[in-house]
A and B are shown apart, each in its own frame.
Chain A
């Protein structure tokens, strides 16, 4: 039993954090978030050079040969930085392409960061996509990080199809409530791709990985709200005292720290359960999503409150976390859907 980071994981954490601190300070996040794939390209290539997209890809396929626990470390840092762009799709795609063992150079391009890949969840009720063989038709729900130049990982109920960039998908960008996460609706009219996973089990495994890595990303954001509030509580003075010395603020920060620890613990445990293929891994995914989602929404709101009038402005970063918390909540099995699923399991048992 050990839920602490290994020395390797700590090294990955330090390397990713120093890269993101340098390349993606909040001002840069704001500047490139809405600009799309072109603006992200240099960042993507730099991340590719550092091996971010191949952590869990076998060494024989050009990756680092680690597992989802190391991807967790990466996504926590991405979430802490509120990194824009389709990181999740690119990481999932490299993993899926490698697992499929397809010997094309798409995998090499994804690993090198030459390509951005967005995930299209065609199992969600918002999607009308139908996949027959390697042919994709229909319209997606909102796809995070999709742009004209992106490739797509289309996750259908019983298979996963990789659609190359410029492969005929029509991308209709929509204004995004979450400024650091662009969205688009994507239309496929009989677009042909590459089947990279076949069968329900493979689809379930991919969606599980997607849900877990997005939870890890949320944990990073949740921790950032605690850090922001604590920092502000130490420097902002009212009544000649730092506001963090007042119990009203101090206790709110304490509650935020509790939620962060709860979310981190549940997510870490669920990710190791998935890595090991534990019998209760799907239950653990729901536990992680339910708690991370609740923690993110509440911590982001508390963080606005702790920043007072400034917290309500566009200029202050606090609102970006409020918005990201909601975009996280809706993806890959919402909190409410998972609560209902759990409740249904009690009724049947």
Chain B
């Protein structure tokens, strides 16, 4: 048992830290300026690529860093500790679409798409969920009919983040309506500029517009864009679920640790009750309240335990070589903790939260240097936190997975 890193890993950490510190971009654009976010993220990705840091977990033969599991862990820790900008518009390409092509794509698909994703030239989005197929993804009904060398797609997808700034979409379609539901699905690369695609943004409860609905009206997609075999799309989609083996969410865990630190600072700066400051009066600080103090202490302990939990999960994966099913345990603990942290921020801020303009989007989700906008940013992040137990498998589905796959309870 060991909680230290090897000298090689420490040297890797030092190099990563130095490079991130010297190169991390400042002044990201505001949340709702999607075009500007796209440009900003692509430029940042391109800088990482030039320096050899892109695709930290991608194999070297596909242009990635090919880092070991421990190096991935270290990279994400350093990235988040430095408060480096997360290129969130590129998440699907880097962490899902790209890895799926690596696992199941043809040589032509790989050689065209992978370099473009890594170099920061294309944005990908996801076309999985539908209005009638959320947790029950396998019941999706967007149809694709084979017509010569094309698939002709008709239907609707929903919750597609960045559909309106993406070049490509990983799209799940039903190619055999008569087969059992998981056996008639295909995984297709959909060019977002194809004729017949209509994109409508959805405004979230936080006021921002990352999400879209996407409508397909007889959209023709070359059959060569099918990844894997026709009707084998479910297996293709599942092949990369564990791609990053528990390290993909690591940076958001480190960010949550930072946030708890920021929350403790906030409780020191905020007078109890959140009233406009009778500044300098120690006795009225929120941090001095016994109940708030204990809740902050519990959260500080919980983020620390979250880190130990991740280290344990990564240790297990390093030992066994397969993604650990305990990742779903971490996911539940993390997402609920994240919500508690943000809910406590609202209590600490008190009546200050009441004045908030949903149209005035803060600069990304990181507090960064924008100290004067602390209050607005906490409110925004609190509203965003409601998504963390819904996105990427709701907490209810996660509990089913734990109950059935980890504990072996009957379906």
B315 and A258 contact, CB distance less than 8 A: no
B409 and A262 contact, CB distance less than 8 A: no
- On whether A291 and B302 interact (CB within 8 A), knowing A1-B314, A261-B329, A272-B1, the answer reads yes
A1 and B409 contact, CB distance less than 8 A: no
A276 and B3 contact, CB distance less than 8 A: yes
Pick from B304, B329, B332: contact of A266, CB under 8 Å: B304
B294 and A339 contact, CB distance less than 8 A: yes
Contact string against A for B residues 304-347, beta-carbon threshold 8 Å, 1 for contact and 0 otherwise: 11111101101110110000001001101100000000000000
Contacts of B73 in A (CB 8 A): 1
Q: Is A234 an interface residue (CB 8 A)?
A: yes
Contact string against B for A residues 232-267, beta-carbon threshold 8 Å, 1 for contact and 0 otherwise: 011000000110110101110111011001111110
Contacts of B314 in A (CB 8 A): 1
Pick from A234, A268, A342: contact of B1, CB under 8 Å: A268
Q: Is B400 an interface residue (CB 8 A)?
A: yes
B410 and A291 contact, CB distance less than 8 A: no
Q: Is B51 an interface residue (CB 8 A)?
A: no
Min Cβ gap A46→B in Å is 28
Contacts of A6 in B (CB 8 A): 1
A340 and B293 contact, CB distance less than 8 A: yes
- Looking at A91-99, A203-211, A282-290, A316-324, the stretch in contact with chain B turns out to be A282-290
Pick from A250, A283, A290: contact of B404, CB under 8 Å: A250
Chain B residue at smallest Cβ distance from A244: B409
B293 and A262 contact, CB distance less than 8 A: no
Of the candidates A233, A245, A254, the one having the most CB atoms from chain B within 10 angstroms of its own CB is A254
Contacts of B197 in A (CB 8 A): none
- On whether A234 and B409 interact (CB within 8 A), knowing A3-B311, A3-B312, A291-B302, the answer reads yes
Pick from B4, B333, B399: contact of A262, CB under 8 Å: B333
- On whether A343 and B296 interact (CB within 8 A), knowing A3-B3, A251-B403, the answer reads yes
Q: Is A60 an interface residue (CB 8 A)?
A: no
Q: Considering the chains assembled together, what is the distance between the CA atoms of A250 and B290 in angstroms?
A: 36
Contacts of A266 in B (CB 8 A): 301, 304-305, 308-309
A265 and B410 contact, CB distance less than 8 A: no
Q: Is A105 an interface residue (CB 8 A)?
A: no
A265 and B309 contact, CB distance less than 8 A: yes
Contact string against A for B residues 279-311, beta-carbon threshold 8 Å, 1 for contact and 0 otherwise: 000000101101001101110111011111101
Q: Is A111 an interface residue (CB 8 A)?
A: no
Pick from B290, B311, B408: contact of A269, CB under 8 Å: B311
Q: Looking at chain A, what size class is its interface with the partner chain? A: 35 or more
B70 and A1 contact, CB distance less than 8 A: yes
A287 and B312 contact, CB distance less than 8 A: no
Q: Considering the chains assembled together, what is the distance between the CA atoms of A194 and B299 in angstroms?
A: 42
Min Cβ gap B407→A in Å is 5
> From DSSP, what is the main secondary structure of chain A's interface residues?
helix
Chain A residue at smallest Cβ distance from B293: A343
Contacts of B237 in A (CB 8 A): none
B410 and A254 contact, CB distance less than 8 A: no
Q: Considering the chains assembled together, what is the distance between the CA atoms of A338 and B293 in angstroms?
A: 11
A272 and B3 contact, CB distance less than 8 A: yes
Q: Is B264 an interface residue (CB 8 A)?
A: yes
Pick from B3, B300, B333: contact of A1, CB under 8 Å: B3
Pick from A69, A233, A247: contact of B400, CB under 8 Å: A247
Contacts of A257 in B (CB 8 A): 329, 402, 406-407
B409 and A230 contact, CB distance less than 8 A: yes
Q: Is B217 an interface residue (CB 8 A)?
A: no
Q: Considering the chains assembled together, what is the distance between the CA atoms of A276 and B2 in angstroms?
A: 9
Contacts of B360 in A (CB 8 A): none
A1 and B311 contact, CB distance less than 8 A: yes
Q: Is B5 an interface residue (CB 8 A)?
A: yes
B1 and A3 contact, CB distance less than 8 A: yes
Contacts of A249 in B (CB 8 A): 409
Q: Is B411 an interface residue (CB 8 A)?
A: yes
Q: Is B396 an interface residue (CB 8 A)?
A: yes
Chain B residue at smallest Cβ distance from A233: B409
Task: List 14 additional A-B contacts (Cβ < 8 Å) besides A1-B73, A247-B400, A273-B3.
Answer: A3-B312, A5-B1, A230-B409, A241-B410, A244-B409, A257-B402, A264-B312, A266-B304, A272-B3, A276-B4, A284-B304, A287-B304, A290-B297, A344-B293
7 interchain pairs (CB within 8 A)? Answer: A251-B396, A266-B309, A268-B308, A269-B307, A273-B3, A339-B298, A340-B294
